[in-house]
Structure 1
């Protein structure tokens, strides 16, 4: 779906309008490893996003990627957007450097059609309907899961292309331990981070974690003046200050409760293609979530989970020292989930969610949105057969109800090989911009719809890891396009259709002592309304990472490759970027890390007219408890 120029200008004017809706508590990741055969080491990573309950990675029917603490440390990225770009099926865009407006495409789905969660918390903007991963620093993140495919039946609106779930760092049951890092590099980049986690008592029942960070960079000019002569040629810098904290207490063996808090403040200088060469533009963003959660075991087979949360997303645009727009989202969310083990091989889950969503803006007024949701799911094993079924109903105060479902099946040929298939239906609720933005909003539009089918063949072993090839197809209907009303304005209408077909390969494992991660995607992302490729989606792209520990050294690299993409009446050339990193343990607790981004100094574009960083070098000195 291609937006008209008027809609593009509107988006640019509010380009950093990031998101935080509310917090949904989720179960802490299980620490017990699944062990039944030769694949035990491969199945040991436990994921929760693909079913809303702990499950061994290799048993997940949807394609699922996991980035753990080591993967995050190995990555050359400094924010969540750069990390998830390494997952199979994922493409990202940036309108400039760190902190700038960004896009996330999973299997060709638009940014507003791919859901981002933080500890189960929705972080999509009430106004734009998309999340700002570029505002989330890795210093606060302990783990990331990426699920590819249509899973609205688990999480509701937006989860058409997939779900990215970010888990902040948790406290651990040991005496408090302190760690810090200091980094300096290209573009006068400076980063400092510090954290402490541990237990407040001897028996480890009360655990906590606190992590703070600050990053400042002078950056580079976001837009190429040769393409847009009216932009300011100055460098566009970025400042981020973030903090995350968790406190959890165990009340015996059956109940635990706690609080979580995350706040990220960003000030990003950006270029406006339609302004004056002397304009100074800044976006002031704040993403904040606060939640209280409780988990309990009612019986040996029945566990329950409660979360009460409030989230805020604040975005203010300033031009030449004067604020020109304000978008403040506030969200209150209540979640109750129950997991019931019928037997060792059969499990049920059911729950209820309520969301109150408001937007306060000086650009337009929007009524409050209220959402009531019920969901249920089943996961079971019958011999070599595995089944997953999920059903969800969401009732919105502004447009009515929406149903979604997921049906998945897998057959295990032996301890290593298995085949799977799934069929699902999803939706995306119209954003407040789609409904109410002046002159372009349409209160009568309905949700976007999609249906997906996929089949996969997987091999898993402790020797090589998890390898998977997936064939997928998603058909979109009722897409929201902005259509000319015959004058100068474009109004939201449900007139779009699209189809994305493709094959996706993934591998997360190792060869000997070398850890490897690879993903390759061939897809056909077609806008069936206009008979052209979907904007900024490549038909071919791939990633490869390799890291190895040699004595006191940890060395590795990343290779990110993409074919050409269409972008608003232009074509972006394909590119290949190589990043390298090396870490050396100086002493028992001290280490130094060096990395080189864009080793071969490639000049490429992720979005038309926007620059990307050239070759950069960075060095980090750190200390962690031994």
Structure 2
């Protein structure tokens, strides 16, 4: 399933998307739908176009700006732990190498987008979500299930799409936060956003943040004697900016910029106790986009962007390796209204991807993609169909399909069903890494089916119960060649079956989010559970405003998991938070992580933070 050669590398940030930044637009009227108050949230990831959250056929989760303000996490991967079907791993504290399993799919089999565009390491094929700080994020959407037909390679387990902040139609407003807490953690955030003209045609947002922590020892030296027992700290400095201008009532465009610099101290299990190891990561994206309404029925979106990812490893003050990715991407999408409740989407994408490394040489990758999709309603019937073809310069072409159906029994209840086929392209490591890469391997393939029952109302929110199955074939595994090396081969098979429950809504004045997953993640080649995937896990959050206070708590629980000839015990972690509005502008926020000081593992031999307390002082201009 994964390479035996493990290295630290940051994410590849390709570009920012051109789709409208609409998280809470008004839903279109339609037959047999839930009341508008329940449909106020709108998402774009499930279909590549704005649609009411409750109308999504695939299981879709929205973490809005209030969820981000409520969470105890400061990075994206910490928040994603509360999404249905998601499990996370960390090799230590903040900024450490991390992983995400979505419906049992590995990090490389679940796609991460930022403002509509891919974010992944060209070598590893996976995104480094631990480098994405929540300070620059407005909201996050998560779509569970097989959607390569919409987004291409890697969307087998699903898609995580991160949306950065944008300005509003108001005079410029400033805000800042400062925080101090356990492990000598310090965090600062400063932002300004608004309109540059009275008409609100030109809007902007600029957010900068800095987080520094002394951390703790990543690896338990009682298990791995060669690990350095010193604390492993982390420093992140990030900036994001967006400028958007409405040229006319039918055309708008703008630019986006994002950069995240991280320095992470980490332990090496194969070194000596005196080694000092650091990973220096830089994630940068710059893009230009335009949206235009060509006719009353046809809207077009264009994005041109260049992304850069640098991951350099330093040992004892000397750089030992580098993995630098350069990406250029061009996206053209068109939305055509066939009727009041029927839309056709079609477009073209081009990607040029290169990797500069002192460990191995890899030719540039060029990908040409065409896609088309249909979403529509006929009475209480919902339909979605997508098809996509991706042509790769290094291994050939791959087709993906998605077919979904939903039926509303009444204004609240509906059932859905879907079938999908998708693929994951081999990463540069799979193809070219010394003594293990294999240029002749082909993409991994998967076939997924799912069925769901959903209830939605303005009073309770959206509740959903989903049964799913994904079968993997042609999996890339590393097989011993008899000469002491492991070579990438298409030999693996796997199956993940499960039941997933999700609820995002209210109990009176209390905001509630709950999820559980019961699954059977099996490696059918070796007849054992897939590594680090629990068969049972769940999460729950509740937050309530009481006068000038907002109080809440988080709970994550997981069953046992296998991890490379060992078993990780199950665990449960509780976090608490409280926020007090001192005035209309000033507030103070206190949180306690790991309230009961649980000792647990997310990855074998790696430590996790014990009980911690953090205090934040903030101000916002009204």
Same fold (TM over 0.5): yes
Q: Check if 1:388 corresponds to 2:384.
A: yes
Q: Which of the numbers 492, 501, 507 marks the counterpart of 2:503?
A: 507
Any conservation in 2 of the 1:35–1:41 contact (CA below 8 Å)?
A: no
The residue number in structure 2 matching 1:374 is 370
Query: In 2, Cα distance between the equivalents of 1:189 and 1:548?
Result: 27
Any conservation in 2 of the 1:545–1:557 contact (CA below 8 Å)?
A: yes
The residue number in structure 1 matching 2:251 is 255
C-alpha RMSD over aligned residues: 0.9
Q: Which of the numbers 142, 152, 172 marks the counterpart of 1:176?
A: 172
Any conservation in 2 of the 1:500–1:523 contact (CA below 8 Å)?
A: yes
Any conservation in 2 of the 1:407–1:424 contact (CA below 8 Å)?
A: yes
Query: In 1, Cα distance between the equivalents of 2:599 and 2:9?
Result: 24
Any conservation in 1 of the 2:111–2:159 contact (CA below 8 Å)?
A: yes
The residue number in structure 2 matching 1:446 is 442
Q: Check if 1:205 corresponds to 2:209.
A: no
Q: Check if 1:529 corresponds to 2:525.
A: yes
Q: Which of the numbers 57, 60, 72 marks the counterpart of 1:61?
A: 57
Structure 2 counterparts to residues 208-607 of structure 1, below 5 A: 208-607=204-603
The residue number in structure 2 matching 1:110 is 106
Moved beyond 4 Å, runs of 4+: 35-38
**SS at 2:208's partner residue?**
strand
Any conservation in 2 of the 1:24–1:333 contact (CA below 8 Å)?
A: no
Query: In 1, Cα distance between the equivalents of 2:45 and 2:290?
Result: 19
Query: In 2, Cα distance between the equivalents of 1:386 and 1:186?
Result: 50
Query: In 2, Cα distance between the equivalents of 1:214 and 1:520?
Result: 34
TM-score scaled by structure 1?
0.98
Query: In 2, Cα distance between the equivalents of 1:26 and 1:326?
Result: 34
Any conservation in 1 of the 2:10–2:131 contact (CA below 8 Å)?
A: no
Query: In 2, Cα distance between the equivalents of 1:614 and 1:440?
Result: 38
Q: How far has the Cα of 1:35 moved from its partner? A: 6.8
How many residues end up aligned between the 2 structures?
Answer: 619
Any conservation in 2 of the 1:555–1:582 contact (CA below 8 Å)?
A: yes
Q: Deviations over 1:448-482 (max 9, x none)?
A: 00000000000000110000000000000000000
Q: Deviations over 1:58-86 (max 9, x none)?
A: 00000000000000000000000001111
Q: Check if 1:150 corresponds to 2:146.
A: yes
Q: Deviations over 1:515-558 (max 9, x none)?
A: 00001000000000000000000000000000000000000000
The residue number in structure 2 matching 1:24 is 17
Query: In 2, Cα distance between the equivalents of 1:32 and 1:394?
Result: 32
Any conservation in 2 of the 1:35–1:43 contact (CA below 8 Å)?
A: no
Q: How far has the Cα of 1:30 moved from its partner? A: 6.0
Q: How far has the Cα of 1:25 moved from its partner? A: 2.4
Query: In 2, Cα distance between the equivalents of 1:23 and 1:333?
Result: 10
Any conservation in 1 of the 2:145–2:157 contact (CA below 8 Å)?
A: yes
Structure 2 counterparts to residues 63-102 of structure 1, below 5 A: 63-102=59-98
Q: Which of the numbers 600, 606, 611 marks the counterpart of 1:610?
A: 606
Q: Check if 1:619 corresponds to 2:615.
A: yes
Query: In 2, Cα distance between the equivalents of 1:28 and 1:605?
Result: 38
Any conservation in 2 of the 1:352–1:374 contact (CA below 8 Å)?
A: yes
Any conservation in 2 of the 1:153–1:406 contact (CA below 8 Å)?
A: yes
Any conservation in 2 of the 1:21–1:126 contact (CA below 8 Å)?
A: no
Q: How far has the Cα of 1:27 moved from its partner? A: 2.2
Q: How far has the Cα of 1:98 moved from its partner? A: 0.2
Any conservation in 1 of the 2:9–2:121 contact (CA below 8 Å)?
A: no
Q: Deviations over 1:481-533 (max 9, x none)?
A: 00000021000000000000000000000010000000100000000000000
Any conservation in 2 of the 1:21–1:329 contact (CA below 8 Å)?
A: no
The residue number in structure 2 matching 1:123 is 119
Query: In 2, Cα distance between the equivalents of 1:163 and 1:472?
Result: 16
Query: In 2, Cα distance between the equivalents of 1:417 and 1:121?
Result: 33
Q: How far has the Cα of 1:156 moved from its partner? A: 0.0
**SS at 1:435's partner residue?**
helix
Q: Check if 1:15 corresponds to 2:11.
A: no
Q: How far has the Cα of 1:624 moved from its partner? A: 1.0
Any conservation in 1 of the 2:235–2:264 contact (CA below 8 Å)?
A: yes
Q: Check if 1:185 corresponds to 2:181.
A: yes
Any conservation in 1 of the 2:9–2:323 contact (CA below 8 Å)?
A: no
**SS at 2:488's partner residue?**
strand
Q: How far has the Cα of 1:340 moved from its partner? A: 0.5
The residue number in structure 2 matching 1:42 is 38
- Name stretches of at least 5 consecutive residues in structure 2 with no aligned partner: none
Query: In 2, Cα distance between the equivalents of 1:38 and 1:408?
Result: 19
Query: In 2, Cα distance between the equivalents of 1:39 and 1:490?
Result: 57
**SS at 1:466's partner residue?**
strand
Any conservation in 2 of the 1:538–1:562 contact (CA below 8 Å)?
A: yes
